[in-house]
Structure 1
Amino acid sequence: MFGRQISRKIVPVAIALGCLSAIGFLQTSKLAQLSTQADQVQNSLKYETDLRHQQASLKLLHQFPDFGFDNLVADWVFLNFLQYFGDNAARKRTGYGLSPDFFEVIIKRDPRFIRPYLFLSTSVSLKAGQPQRSVQLLDTGLQSLDPKVDPNAYLVWLYKATDELLFLGDNQSARNSHQKVVEWSQENSDPDSQRLSALSARTAKFLANKPNSKRAQINSWLLVLVNAVDNNGRQRAIKNIKRLGGEISFGKDGSVTVIPPRED
């Protein structure tokens, strides 16, 4: 009798405590969700603010007069671009649309600065989806380049050829650019440069015989693969090589082997 009375008293208390615990859990979860949403909004506002500041800064630098420090300005802008490009969280929010503006300043200030051209093609064509603007910027830089002065200048023609073939579908221009790669790379006896020259020679030949050559496209995606600056670029290149019928394998030393399809 006494035990049943205690039991009747305990059960309602236990139910009440369980309800309170459930309410507390739901409130805590809701607060955590609201806190996360607030953080996302705050981050989004920060990314947008940073983007506007970067845009204004690049516009000012583009119009800034020449005081003899162009090389330093180009270096500084390129370092800022690398921070911009590498901020994956911000780029997911605001995209890569500012990439061409960075390179307009860099090329205007120091068109002979070869290294940024690789990132130009990747960020403007692949990421920002503006291959036409990428080719225009590469053309602008090429006007100031001379393979006798910089033996690596042929690389700019190589990036241009890739953009023309893969992203613009301008096969004739791509063929001409690959022929320029072969011509300019004669000034560089480095083995890697000569391998790239041979690859460009084959690609130009494929395009001459068959403008829509799968082998030419595979060679270009191979160049994207070996020059990719992030994993997304590498995966996109691998996907497209396989889509075109190429078989791809990787050596333990990091080398890449691609077997093209039997029929081009």
Structure 2
Amino acid sequence: MRVALGVEYNGARYSGWQRQSHVNSVQQEVEKALSRICNHPVEVICAGRTDAGVHGTGQVIHFETQADRDMVAFTLGMNTLMPKDIAIRFAQPVADDFHARFSATARRYRYVIYNSPLRGAVLNEGVTHFHHHLDETKMQEACQYLIGKHDFTSFRAIHCQANTPTRTIHHLSVQRQGTYVIIDIKANAFLHHMVRNITGSLMDVGLHKQQPIWIKELLDCKERAKASATAKAAGLYLVDVDYPEQFNIPQTPLGPLFLPDIDVI
């Protein structure tokens, strides 16, 4: 039986999603709980590997098992076995041709900035604090240059191993909710650190260090060194993954949950 799971996690105390030796990872905790439920070793495949400190509210994984279990064993059962900062949001049997990574048609991230002169305490692990005022209107103006199919070399980590820097951004917006500035981005796929690198450059536009047209100049020059520094991991969330309707993957509310949902095609 092949099963898909929706996973939510606070990545603050993990060295990313991917299982690694000598460090704690989200994948390790999920596989440990699954192996107990199934009574045999289980390996999972995820829709998108997140870096150290990055969160997930819409991560999707799949695994295979010969154990005969009700889906409630993979939701309530796993949630009793895993740390409090990792939770299963849904469990769904899927066809054998479903693949959490390769069947995905798009991924969506949100970056949350707490834009206030003084730092907060309650949500400090889930947002990036930035004390200088950001002009979200200018940041939104800059977004238009990134939408569509482009070579994103200027926003790609130097050690990125993707075969091509070309990606297609379907949606990119910046909005303010009180003291929070939220960057919402959806694309067919992402390069390593792409969202955080785009965020860093948009923040410089929001500080009036650069004009919105500068984002287009960065795209055209294809030089990572010309763009801004990579934004911190703490504010980044993988919030949704799109799949063809044939797989019947459940739709769950986007996160972070205190922000309004934005309809995106």
Normalised TM-score (structure 2): 0.25
Tell me: higher relative CO, structure 1 or 2? Use CA pairs within 8 A at least 6 residues apart: 2
What TM-score do you get using the length of structure 1 for normalisation? 0.25
> Considering only CA atoms, is the larger Rg found in Structure 1 or Structure 2?
1
**Larger relative strand fraction:** 2
